[in-house]
A and B are shown apart, each in its own frame.
Chain A
Amino acid sequence: MATTALPVSTPPLAEPPPPEKTGFPYGRTLAWIFMVLVILASLFPFYWMLRTALSSNNALYAGSDSLLPVQPSWGGFERVFGLQSGQEAIDAGGAGQPINFWHYLANSVIVSTLITAGQVFFSAMAAYAFARLQWRHREKVFLFFLAGLMIPAIFTLLPNFVLIKELGLVDTLLGISLPTMLMTPFAVFFLRQFFLGISREVEEAAHVDGASKVRVFFRLIIPMSTAPLATLGILTYITSWNDYFWPLMVSYTDRSRVLTVALGVFKSQTPQTGPDWSGLMAATLVAALPMLLLFLFFAKRIVNSIGFSGIK
């Protein structure tokens, strides 16, 4: 390693050769050290969650320095999936009440699937009408939709709860899904931008062949747009899976409880003194894992979808 220290920010004077080739790249090294710290900070908490979930809860105190699971056991997961008897769970520091995360997992899957399928499909139809169909007041109605982007989601939650209650949908999965199942202004906007970019010639050729606009939409536009539809679908799925506030309002019992809400309940049930950390971390892992797996498969698509492509 080079030992001669040069301040990083010294502006090279006119004489010296290109800076990339002189000596040890201090700036780059510092930058990489920073990035490595960022990577560690991003990923280490996940490891710690896994390490704790696989430890025996009663051994956590003695082994608080251990970087590996302490007295490895599946106990935490067994409590999460209701596989331990009440007494066993209490002995391990758990709540002793039977819980079954499979049920919440299923609820989360149903809610997220309903929202994603509905929102993407109905938004695509609306986006097509805004992008390609000819009708009066089209631009005005579209602007009206765009104004919806300005309404903070949080403002509509309370009145929406009142509405869901009036509809008799409190504590149902449909009640949780309905408000975002039909559209979001962002989804309509995002897809309209894409549809606008599709060449008209292909469509016109289909029309000349006698295909109706409905047929063109289902047989031509949708197959041509699988990439943006998939991107939107994945983002919507993640958002609805991770939502907490709205399901917290709507669901009261196990019937409609989704994972995020169940996690909150599980946390509040765990004893205040000597909480069941390994059980809690196992539950947290169960709630997080599906999205992390989804990310593993679609990382490139998700990462590249973040930007201002739609908003600007």
Chain B
Amino acid sequence: MAVVSVPKKKRKDDTRLAILFIAPALAGFLVFMIWPTLRGIYLSFTSFNLLTPPEFNGLDNYIRMVQDPVFWNSMVVTVYYVIINIALQTAFALAIAVMMQRLTKRTWLRGVVLTPYLVSNVVAALIFLWILDYQLGLGNRVLELIGMDRIAFLADSAWVIPTIAVINVWRHVGYTALLIFAGLQTIPETMYEAGRMDGASELTMFRRITLPLLRPILALVLIITVVGSFQVFDTVAVTTRGGPVDSSRVLQYYIYDMAFGRFQFGYASAMSVALLLVLIVITFLQYRLTRAEQSDLA
């Protein structure tokens, strides 16, 4: 192309400058994301206690894992947690998002709903540890006042996982609702106007317009929240430490305990790989089942 020559001619190729600009981020990416990923996979085939160099031991860790009843129990507990957590959270988030859409789009309301998300999991866990305390907790006082028995929410093996799931719903539901709310904004208002002209009720419009058009967004939200939910750790670590017995020993807590409590980094890494594989499979399945890539709006 004929370009009028400017006194200081600019090189079209910025490779040198680009390397300079990208170097810190690339270093961080390679050193703290790619390298650890590869290393985590490598360590899963070794016996490693952090003090002496890792020793390759083939599939030993994986064989042990398959035979480890505590591992399988952790897997079951985690899946149980994820099911309760995701079911409640998605239902409530969807309800909140739709109500906000139809009632008021004011920022203050979205702000209020998001407030619990601003505090850490640790803070949320401690607040509810107190509210649900067996002796002094307000929750049990209320149960008593309405004539029910007290419940040892975090000390009873039947209640502990549902309780932890609800605590985390409290913290995350607002965030999820806002994600869905953002998705709702992509549905053209004219659809609802047309629905109203035809005399459709809010409920019919929800079923016939909102849900189908929201599906791709909902699928994406589900993938994000399920992957997050599988990584539950903070709440368990602060409230129950896996107890009573192993009833709240979620996988991530077992992995942490194996690494930092018993210094079996090799075995802990193998279980991390297992969790990673589970997450990959679940993401893939969800993607296929929900046809997240297709929109009905087009």
Contacts and interface: CB of A to CB of B under 8 A. Distances in A.
Contacts of A45: 116, 127-128, 131, 170
Interface in B92-128: 92, 95-96, 99-100, 102-103, 107-116, 118-123, 126-128
A64 B17 contact: no
Contacts, number: 283
B109 A35 contact: yes
Contact of B13 (A135, A267, A281): A135
Contacts of B100: 35
A267, A291, A306, most chain B CB atoms within 10 A: A306
B202 interface: yes
B220 A249 contact: no
A148 B33 contact: yes
Contacts of B8: 210
A9 B109 CA distance: 26
A292 B119 contact: yes
A181 B32 CA distance: 10
Which bucket holds chain B's interface residue count? Answer: 35 or more
A111 interface: no
Interface stretch (B57-65, B71-79, B230-238): B230-238
A5 B236 CA distance: 47
A197 to B, nearest CB: 18
Nearest to A15: B199
Which bucket holds chain A's interface residue count? Answer: 35 or more
Interface stretch (B80-88, B157-165, B175-183): B175-183
Contacts of B103: 28, 31-32, 35
Interface string A19-37: 1000000011001101100
B204 A151 contact: no
A48 B14 contact: no
Given A154-B272, A183-B24, A208-B6, A133 B18 contact: yes
Interface in A134-169: 134-136, 138, 141, 145, 148, 151-156, 158-163, 165
Summarize B's interface: helix, strand, loop or mixed: helix
B112 A39 contact: yes
Given A38-B96, A133-B17, A306-B179, A182 B27 contact: yes
Interface of B: 6-8, 10, 12-15, 17-19, 21-22, 24-29, 31-37, 39-40, 43, 50, 92, 95-96, 99-100, 102-103, 107-116, 118-123, 126-131, 133, 135-136, 138, 141, 170, 174-175, 178-179, 182-183, 185, 196, 199-204, 217, 220, 227, 231, 233-234, 237-238, 252, 255-256, 259-260, 265, 268-269, 272-273, 275-276, 279
11 contacts: A32-B103, A48-B131, A125-B25, A133-B14, A133-B17, A151-B37, A158-B255, A183-B29, A238-B118, A287-B123, A300-B107
Given A128-B21, A163-B32, A179-B32, 12 more contacts: A8-B201, A8-B203, A35-B96, A158-B43, A182-B32, A183-B24, A242-B120, A244-B122, A287-B122, A306-B175, A307-B185, A309-B182
